Amino acid sequence: MLERDAEYKLLGMPDCVTLLTKYASVGCLLVGIALTTVLDPQQRAARKESNVRFISPDGMFAFEYPNSLIKCERDPKQSDWWIPARSCEAVIPVCSYASLTKDATVACIAYPAETLIGTNFEAAAFTVNKLDEATAEECLQVTEPHPATSHKEKVNGVTFDVFDVGGVAAGSFLDADAYRNFHQNRCYELDLRIAFVSIGALDPGTVKEFDYKDVHRSLKSVLNTFTFVK
């Protein structure tokens, strides 16, 4: 009886080995899937943090921005309107420069407004503008939307005159700085523009105040990558 049992167990060993091999493979597969599941969020985060390089059509300047921000485009049906409008338009234009016209704007990178729903935020953007008709003297004078004095800041070794060009219109506020430099016989203006509604003008408890510092820091990080290529 014992011999038959031993024989039975011995004969069953290949099946046991097969089963162990089979389930070991399945186990490895499950571990692989688990690791992939763990790594995917990290890979997605890495993609979210990647930068996009923008080079002007004439190759004169370049800058980088994270792909979490939005590259605004001119509406082909209405050239003075930028899309997507939810992030690229406001009561006071953000895809613009100090005088509030939009025809000089070469590039507009906006903060994603959908991430701040339920706050007093309207829109915010970093823009690069070319003022073709401005002389070297005019480039360093800002009279619109109001006369402004400047201070100097360096961006990647280039000195810019920085003007406060913020304003108020129809209950909306604009916090804005214009960075100007006359380069290769042309006036360039880099703008940081943040439009919002006064929290005091809204019914208490209806909206929250957005994190201004976070928005400004995000756009300023784009400005800090700006370089003249030529």
Tens digits of residue pLDDT in 28-52: 444 343 434 444 444 544 455 799 9
Mean pLDDT, residues 66-91:
95
- The CATH number corresponding to 51-228 among 3.30.470.20, 3.40.1000.10, 3.40.50.2300, 3.40.50.300 equals 3.40.1000.10
Mean pLDDT, residues 70-95:
94
What is the reported pLDDT for 206? 84
Higher-pLDDT residue of 142 and 100 is 142
Mean pLDDT, residues 187-208:
89
Cα separation, 63 vs 51, whole angstroms: 10
Per-residue pLDDT band at 147 (split at 50, 70, 90) = confident
- For the chain, the domains span 1-49, 51-228
Which pTM was predicted? 0.77
Mean per-residue pLDDT of the chain:
83
What is the reported pLDDT for 52? 96
What is the reported pLDDT for 47? 52
Contacts 24+ apart (CB under 8 A), 139-146: 139/180, 139/181, 139/182, 139/187, 140/180, 140/182, 142/98, 142/178, 142/180, 144/98, 144/99, 144/100, 145/98, 145/99, 145/100
Higher-pLDDT residue of 26 and 189 is 189
Higher-pLDDT residue of 25 and 119 is 119
